[in-house]
Amino acid sequence: MQERYLGDSHDYIKYALLRHLSNDLGLRLGVNWYLAFPEDVDRQGSKDGEKRHHLKGQDWQDLDSDLFNKIKYFDIPEARKLENVAKQGILPSQSLYFSDPVPKTDRHVWHQQAQDVLYDADLVFIDPDNGFEIKSMSRKTSPKYALYKEAADYLTAGKIVLGIQFARQCDPIKKGYEIREKLCDATGASQLLPIIRGRVAPNILFLTLSPSSLSEKLRRSLVKFADLGPKVDLIE
């Protein structure tokens, strides 16, 4: 996550899904922002984060009309600060947040601190810039990715895990299957839960892991969310 993305079209789908799962299943949310700074991880002059066409589209309101009104706050660049997510009531009031930036060294210490802060959460959302780790990531770009082991640790702690994956210049369905398989291999998860796809450019995928006792309830809730409007669908 980079603060300049706050309130963009991908962000809107993200928050709508989190609010839905929290309300539908009675879960306390924990958010690890995987905060990164563009000057540290991106090329100079990048204009990412300005996909805000959803603010003018009536059909976007179907996902969450209350959120649609609240997220307009971030249309002003100066408002795009992580602390404003809580201040504006974007997510439920009892949500927990870990905002420390992802380091390029001693990442295991950072990860342990995140687990401590999010200890009381029922669902942990991991929100890296790009998605899950790739072989070609460098020390410079590593803060843009979540590690499979980090997701595994939250699942081992008995939490539902929700992670993102952008599908750029690829078949999003194939990409979703690929990442889901790697997640299951890394975590030992036996349940193949549906993937939520946000139909924006590029597609954003939401992949979940769940303790076995909650997997069927989670599955039903994901299906329910995918029925809310044309901007999202389900990959089984």
Amino acid letter for position 153: D
Residue 160: pLDDT above 70?
A: yes
| pLDDT per position as a tens digit, 185-213 | 999 887 789 999 999 989 999 999 999 99
Residue 42: pLDDT above 80?
A: no
* pLDDT number for residue 230: 85
Pair of tokens at residue 208: 């979940």
* pLDDT number for residue 98: 98
Upstream peptide bond of 172 is cis (omega within 30 degrees of 0) = no
* pLDDT number for residue 188: 87
Pair of tokens at residue 143: 């803060």
Q: Which domains does the chain have, with CATH numbers?
A: 3-235 (3.40.50)
Contact 117, 96 (CB under 8 A): yes
Residue 218: pLDDT above 90?
A: yes
* pLDDT number for residue 55: 67
Instruction: Please give the residue that has the higher pLDDT: either 22 or 61.
Output: 22
Residue 49: pLDDT above 60?
A: no
Judged on CB neighbours under 10 Å (0-12, 13-18, 19+), 43 is exposed
When pLDDT is cut at 50, 70 and 90, the band that residue 33 belongs to is: very high
One-letter-per-residue 3-state SS of the chain: CCHHHCCCHHHHHHHHHHHHHHHHHCCCEEEECCCCCHHHHCCCCCCCCCCCHHHHCHHHHHCCHHHHHHHHHHHCHHHCCCHHHHHCCCCCCCCEEECCCCCCCCHHHHHHHHHHHCCCCCEEEECCCCEECCCCCCCCCHHHEECHHHHHHHHHCCCEEEEEEEECCCCHHHHHHHHHHHHHHHHCCCCCCCEEEECCCCEEEEEEECCHHHHHHHHHHHHHHHCCCCCEEEEC
Residue 80: pLDDT above 80?
A: yes
Pair of tokens at residue 171: 């078949």
* pLDDT number for residue 184: 92
| pLDDT per position as a tens digit, 99-144 | 999 999 999 999 999 999 999 999 999 999 999 999 999 989 999 9
The alpha-carbon radius of gyration of the chain (Å, integer) is 16
Contact 29, 161 (CB under 8 A): no
Residue 47: pLDDT above 90?
A: no
